[in-house]
């Protein structure tokens, strides 16, 4: 059974006004005081962000419990210093980000200028174990057309600087401004993958291999494939669904590789269009079908994903969980739809944020 770990970035906000607050250092100090040696929480690029990472889990039920536990602990720590956490991929309210004091982050700010200042966005990264670099790169080649579907599932960033963007996942559009971000061509071997990353570093445009911000990559720290396309999800149940589908896609890709089935040779140009389509309409319109890259209703594409990864979901015992999760998602919508419903009901982006604080734990 492949293990799965999740990294989530949360937004720190004032519990009354909903304004983002640069209090990550204080939250981390309180975490170190309460539980020394337990490095669950980490700083991020800006002081308004807090990241946590789960342990690798083989059972999805255990992973779901840990996601909920980490969110509740983050909320508890934040509450002790007078702020709250919200699982929002962008801030609905205007914000001036506060750069974390760190040599690496200063390098980013100096190199990329205003582009760095725009990166107050919160994502969800899913790590799935692989047996080797060879398997990992084979998986990356076969995951590519399915990653926009995960964007649509997780989409949770319709608002930006006080305005409705018209997108469901505006975070992915902002994140795509990094020069190394986005979909990749076929690598076909570990040697070509690592040579490509080394060549990128050698240009001097990026600092190191950790800045190869591919939509999915072989982790430099762990024996995993790291899938990086998802918004942080408003609800923990949606985060678990993204992790469940991601593991099944990784396992399916590995089985295709072992069976000698070649990856689909879609161009990066078309994969970028698929990613844009998913970010724009989410589950509320067409997506580009992963096989044909032609428009198809999002509901049909999601059901195709379940069919494509069906054997892997069954073998891991996750088929019923995934099917229920997809049905629930199609019925109630993703985080972007919920945020817009809240705005329609309350008429206030501040109320949207404060309601989302409750959703984050609930």
Per-residue pLDDT reduced to its tens digit, 153-176: 999 999 999 999 999 999 999 999
**Lookup result for tokens 């790169």:** 137
Give, in order, the Cα–Cα distances in Å from 111 to each of 108, 115, 120, 203, 207: 5, 9, 17, 13, 10
pLDDT of residue 34: 84
Concatenated DSSP letters of 176-187: TTSTT-B-----
The angle formed by the CA atoms of residues 300, 306 and 311, to the nearest 5 degrees, is 150
- Rg, the chain, Cα only: 19
* pLDDT reported for residue 35: 75
Q: Report domain extents, the chain.
A: 4-361
Query: What percent of the chain is modeled with pLDDT above 90?
Result: 95
At the topology level, CATH places domain 4-361 in Creatine Kinase; Chain A, domain 2 (3.30.590)
The 10s digit of each residue's pLDDT in 23-80 is 999 999 999 998 776 678 999 999 999 999 999 999 999 999 999 999 999 999 999 9
For residue 346, the surrounding DSSP H or E stretch is helix 335-346
Mean per-residue pLDDT of the chain: 96
pTM above 0.95, yes or no: yes
Cα 81 to the chain's mean position, in Å? 27
CA distance 161 to 141: 36
Distance, in Å, from the CA atom of 42 to the CA atom of 51, rounded to the nearest integer, reads 5
CA distances from 269 to 103, 141, 145, 170, 341 (A): 35, 15, 12, 19, 34
What residues have CB less than 8 Å from 29, skipping those under 6 apart? Answer: none
- Whether 199 contacts 167, CB under 8 Å: no
- Quick one: pLDDT at residue 37? 61
Q: What is the pLDDT of residues 179-224, one digit of tens each?
A: 999 999 999 999 999 999 999 999 999 999 999 999 999 998 899 9
Residue 52 is inside which H or E element, if any?
strand 49-53
Tell me: pLDDT of 9 over 80. Answer: yes
Residue 39 is given by DSSP the state: -
Query: What's the rounded Cα separation, in Å, for the pair 278 and 156?
Result: 12
Q: How many angstroms separate the Cα of 36 from the Cα of each of 28, 31, 78?
A: 11, 7, 17
């Amino acid at each position: 059974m492949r293990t799965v770990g999740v990294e989530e970035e949360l937004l720190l906000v004032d519990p009354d006004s909903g304004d983002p607050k640069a209090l990550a250092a204080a939250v981390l100090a309180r975490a170190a005081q309460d539980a020394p040696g337990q490095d669950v929480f980490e700083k991020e690029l800006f002081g308004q962000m807090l990241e946590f990472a789960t342990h690798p889990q083989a059972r999805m039920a255990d992973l779901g419990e840990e996601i909920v536990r980490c969110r509740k602990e983050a909320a508890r720590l934040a509450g002790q210093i007078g702020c709250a956490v919200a699982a929002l991929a962008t801030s609905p309210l205007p914000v001036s980000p506060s750069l974390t004091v760190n040599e690496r982050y200063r390098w980013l700010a100096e190199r990329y200028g205003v582009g760095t200042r725009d990166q107050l966005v919160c994502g969800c990264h899913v790590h799935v174990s692989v047996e080797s670099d060879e398997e990992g790169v084979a998986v990356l080649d076969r995951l590519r057309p399915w990653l926009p579907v995960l964007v649509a599932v997780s989409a949770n960033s319709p608002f930006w600087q006080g305005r409705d963007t018209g997108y469901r996942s505006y975070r992915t559009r902002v994140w795509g401004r990094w020069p190394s971000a986005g979909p990749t061509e076929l690598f076909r071997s570990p040697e070509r993958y690592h040579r490509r990353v080394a060549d990128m570093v050698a240009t001097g445009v990026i600092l190191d291999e950790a800045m190869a911000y591919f939509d999915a990559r072989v982790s430099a720290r762990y024996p995993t494939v790291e899938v990086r396309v998802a918004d942080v999800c408003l609800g923990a149940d949606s985060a678990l669904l993204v992790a469940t589908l991601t593991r099944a896609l990784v396992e399916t890709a590995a089985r295709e590789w072992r069976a000698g089935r070649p990856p689909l040779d879609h161009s990066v140009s078309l994969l970028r269009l698929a990613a844009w389509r998913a970010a724009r309409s989410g589950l509320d319109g067409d997506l580009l079908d992963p096989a044909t890259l032609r428009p198809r209703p999002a509901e049909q594409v999601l059901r195709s994903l379940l069919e494509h990864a069906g054997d892997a979901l069954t073998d891991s015992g996750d088929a019923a969980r995934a099917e229920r999760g997809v049905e629930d998602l199609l019925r109630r919508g993703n985080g972007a739809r919920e945020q817009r419903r809240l705005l329609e009901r309350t008429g206030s982006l501040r109320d949207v944020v404060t309601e989302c604080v409750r959703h984050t734990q609930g």
